[in-house]
Structure 1
């Protein structure tokens, strides 16, 4: 934020879901998401007649007039999707906007199902606020996917970003809004102090024709919003890594690690760019026999690594010699014992809290967000509370006021060190524990280690040869020694008016 303000000469406001404690730290425009207001619907619903009246839904024991209204939505269970309400006729009868075609949703509505009610939320106040901020030469940061996730590709974008940009230019004719795609590419985002690459794409200009179509409304407005949304989606794809599946992404990352350009030491930003180029090249030539063969070999290599319980960068550690391997193994065992003993209190508390919780966090993106909130708010609060308890404890003893002030400070320092040891155990200790497997393999199964190293070396050579062959056909700036850095280039847009 400070760097952005210094370079751009303006503040940057974030649009995010509902205000939180972070709203007091960052400049945040709160947005209410309708699905967060969903409530369980009373009774059950089903289609009245799928063939003759596909838009009519009837309910048993329902309260449609109280719980639903025009533009509100009905969420079906078991990921059956949702339908928009067009008109509520009575407490037990309503019309939906579009015919249901999804097979899972049809099955639920044919048999009768429970449901959730999602109210319609008018976001006009948010749009007007954004328009005014753009008029004041401010930047607006938007996460257009509408939520966080850990999938291998972008989610479909929400139309809100186009309504804000086009609406601002329609409201203020002299305003020239630019949409700048910004890619957030994470490396182990769920871990503390992990790395990320932020890339900025080319600004997307909004043509006068789009604004005029937006002003007309109706189909013309939808067409203008759709055209701009497609441009934004393409811009975001240019600054993020998007794969058709998680398996494909893992294969691409493995191939990138095996690739050996002459320029060996790559900065983190180049790693992201290489991942993106690998995906583009793979999609162009994936039906070529050589590429298909390499695809299968890389997948087999990944399975082999999984079988032995090691990672690609650890394969070289199996070739240190028997004496060197034994010394390194003993050294890391000592470090692991040290971190375990120092961090045991913190880990024990965390384990007890986990066992006592009924909430399961599956997405790593959610885990990372929770860690951030805990680190910024809960941990400092707890440290201050522990210091206060230590001060209260000193009142029971006869000591000078200097010691009564010193004891809380010492208590906070001790707790901080124990917490830091627990953090280091989580970050370094687990890495050390994982690094033991290749050393054990090198000591007790050197033949398999040799086969694995030879397999990797051959695969790396073949991947490099294929890339050097097909690379020039995919990229005009390809250089087998050192690909040129792109000058322009996930999840956010900066919508801003020019200085």
Structure 2
């Protein structure tokens, strides 16, 4: 079915609402690399969130795209309906048509005849044909059938080499198997080629299906056949392949965070197209080389780890390395995680690395014992009467948020229960039908959204009907009897969303109580925990500074240095003074003022120059900015200092520093692995306008820390 752009845009608007409700934050990175026109293939990995992944790509890619979707999904009522509206291209996957084979199979002569499969009670002649495949349980092996000799004997193309597969096939009782038919995809390739020829975009998940593994699955070669085939069929076509990495923080959880990163477009060399046209081994060589390029490009925009435990360990080490005086955006967190994974893979057998990993594991156990998260450790330094006063204040704020969230929570409680039950059931079904999933978590978010879309209108209709029945029993005028249900129907979504935000803020406040409580009842224990963290952070930083240059040529531990403590503040101009008052919270709420000024929570451990960073380039010139507090953080680090306001706002302290002789002092080094541009500190650069006031130039919607990696920076940054 041809796609209607207006309907596509309406669907995208609807998907945006869904994503804004389900996720707390979605941050794009590198979207400026996407070509604004011409045929583009978006290759997306890892496919960790089933039908939520396509919606995020649609939202952030800035182009209208056609998705390749499993043909069986087109038969699901909700999914199929929206897929047809946005012009998705259905693909019949062989694994979706696989059927259990009759009897069991064996490999009798593994050394002399490893390609001959013998059946026990099998019906090969009716269930299998040449080019079909036999698949072993739990994904331990698959083989293409070359010849069916009889009902109990066939030949395969390549021998099984996996030890688990050989063990199963050589057992006395034989091995169960599935018959997977061979599917010709000519119609799919034709539809893709036509879409690309018209200058449109295709999105494909080259892993072949969604999964919940920590590492990226092997890529299917179909994307290379689509790209090379389109250019072979249309010689004047120039197809670009854009790698897209999806990085989630708890992908299946409600109100989690995500980062979507777009890599540099891959241009297809003409010689690949020539080899593709030649066919045979040259065609396979061209497809293989292009697939390797795509895989490497995807590795550069995703965080890879051998398993989930390793990923969690690397994230813990990254948090300990993170500059203590700078809060990172979630896209910067993803970049650090990726770099840590690359470095760990290279040096994981080094004695120093192994020793530090054991220390990190021990530190994680200490955190678990205290019931804290890493970002909360430094919050235990307050102590004394101020901590007790702040604890009482936070409890009061939590009570207020709880009361405000209560109505919506009760109204939507049935939906939460039903969504949880159904999504868990679907996860079990998906796990049973898959050979690559670990727990089926990749389908949870999709089914939570589908249940919400189906049950929320139904539940609100019930509430409206109840209200209508109640008002009919009153003596109200007819007009109000009719208008009250209408008001109820329209008011319920606003009540639910407001309660959601109130509850979210309340949970943030609740999580902040634990470090306060420990700082009062067990100050010695948390003081020891802080000392352990500081020592471990120092060791990890030194290790990174030692090994970092061996992995990343752009690594520069001294690129970021804080202002010296001896520097004195200058006397600001009236205009600058007004701007600094505004940045320092001059117009903040009374709740903020009470939280910061009376209890001094937000300033524990701060110095006069903690938030001022200077960036020294190779020529020795200096530029700088005041870092903003309260910027977007990673999912496992909840909003910290100002829970009383219910918002997470970036506010700079009213602090300045001399840029004159003060720089001759010894600065405190803050090491960093992030790839910051040397000619610009951040994309959000503080500049001085013509009238002398301070203003900020934002880089649009993209990540503030990385939008400056464009080749064309536009205006040059002025020194402050």
| Structure 2 residue 450 is matched with structure 1 residue 373 | yes
Looking at structure 2, the residues matched to 48 and 312 of structure 1 have their Cα atoms a distance apart, in angstroms, of 56
| Structure 2 residue 486 is matched with structure 1 residue 409 | yes
Stretch deviating more after TM superposition (405-414 or 360-369)? 405-414
Offset at residue 435 of structure 1 (A) = 4.3
Q: Please, what is the CA RMSD of the aligned residues?
A: 3.6
Shift in alpha-carbon separation, 1:363–1:417, aligned structure 2, 3 A:
farther
State the number of aligned residues. Answer: 488
Looking at structure 1, the residues matched to 343 and 264 of structure 2 have their Cα atoms a distance apart, in angstroms, of 22
Residue of structure 2 in register with 1:153 after alignment: 215
Deviations for 1:69-100, whole angstroms, at most 9, x for unmatched residues?
22222222244333322223333333222222
Looking at structure 2, the residues matched to 78 and 262 of structure 1 have their Cα atoms a distance apart, in angstroms, of 45
CA contact (8 A) 2:468 2:484 kept: no
SS of residue paired to 1:54: coil
CA contact (8 A) 2:426 2:444 kept: no
SS of residue paired to 2:553: coil
SS of residue paired to 1:189: coil
Residue of structure 1 in register with 2:588 after alignment: none
Offset at residue 176 of structure 1 (A) = 1.9
Residue of structure 2 in register with 1:8 after alignment: 36
Q: Which has the higher contact order (CA 8 A, sep 6+)?
A: 1
CA contact (8 A) 2:245 2:301 kept: yes
What TM-score do you get using the length of structure 1 for normalisation? 0.84
Shift in alpha-carbon separation, 1:410–1:429, aligned structure 2, 3 A:
same
Deviations for 1:187-211, whole angstroms, at most 9, x for unmatched residues?
3322344332222222222222212
| Structure 2 residue 83 is matched with structure 1 residue 23 | yes
Residue of structure 1 in register with 2:519 after alignment: 442
Looking at structure 2, the residues matched to 421 and 151 of structure 1 have their Cα atoms a distance apart, in angstroms, of 35
SS of residue paired to 1:8: coil
Looking at structure 2, the residues matched to 102 and 468 of structure 1 have their Cα atoms a distance apart, in angstroms, of 41
Residue of structure 2 in register with 1:343 after alignment: 409
Query: Which structure 1 residue ranges, 5 or more long, are not aligned?
Result: 490-499
| Structure 2 residue 107 is matched with structure 1 residue 47 | yes
Stretch deviating more after TM superposition (234-243 or 430-439)? 430-439
What TM-score do you get using the length of structure 2 for normalisation? 0.60
Shift in alpha-carbon separation, 1:392–1:239, aligned structure 2, 3 A:
same
Deviations for 1:369-402, whole angstroms, at most 9, x for unmatched residues?
2233334x32454256436745885897697664
CA contact (8 A) 2:240 2:265 kept: yes
Residue of structure 2 in register with 1:386 after alignment: 462
Shift in alpha-carbon separation, 1:341–1:309, aligned structure 2, 3 A:
farther
Looking at structure 2, the residues matched to 81 and 58 of structure 1 have their Cα atoms a distance apart, in angstroms, of 16
Looking at structure 2, the residues matched to 261 and 273 of structure 1 have their Cα atoms a distance apart, in angstroms, of 14
Residue of structure 1 in register with 2:127 after alignment: 67
| Structure 2 residue 528 is matched with structure 1 residue 466 | no
Residue of structure 2 in register with 1:495 after alignment: none
SS of residue paired to 2:89: strand
Alignment of 1:132-171 (within 5 A): 132-171=194-233
SS of residue paired to 1:84: strand
Stretch deviating more after TM superposition (410-419 or 27-36)? 410-419
Residue of structure 2 in register with 1:91 after alignment: 151
| Structure 2 residue 186 is matched with structure 1 residue 120 | no
Shift in alpha-carbon separation, 1:348–1:138, aligned structure 2, 3 A:
closer
Residue of structure 2 in register with 1:253 after alignment: 315
Offset at residue 181 of structure 1 (A) = 1.2
Looking at structure 2, the residues matched to 53 and 466 of structure 1 have their Cα atoms a distance apart, in angstroms, of 53
Looking at structure 2, the residues matched to 353 and 263 of structure 1 have their Cα atoms a distance apart, in angstroms, of 40
Stretch deviating more after TM superposition (220-229 or 456-465)? 456-465
Query: Which structure 2 residue ranges, 5 or more long, are not aligned?
Result: 1-7, 13-30, 38-62, 75-79, 429-438, 561-671, 678-682, 684-701, 704-720
CA contact (8 A) 1:332 1:436 kept: no
Looking at structure 1, the residues matched to 418 and 450 of structure 2 have their Cα atoms a distance apart, in angstroms, of 20
From 549, 552, 557, give the equivalent of 1:475. 552
From 176, 185, 190, give the equivalent of 2:247. 185
CA contact (8 A) 1:44 1:113 kept: yes
Shift in alpha-carbon separation, 1:86–1:419, aligned structure 2, 3 A:
farther
Residue of structure 2 in register with 1:485 after alignment: 676
CA contact (8 A) 2:383 2:516 kept: no
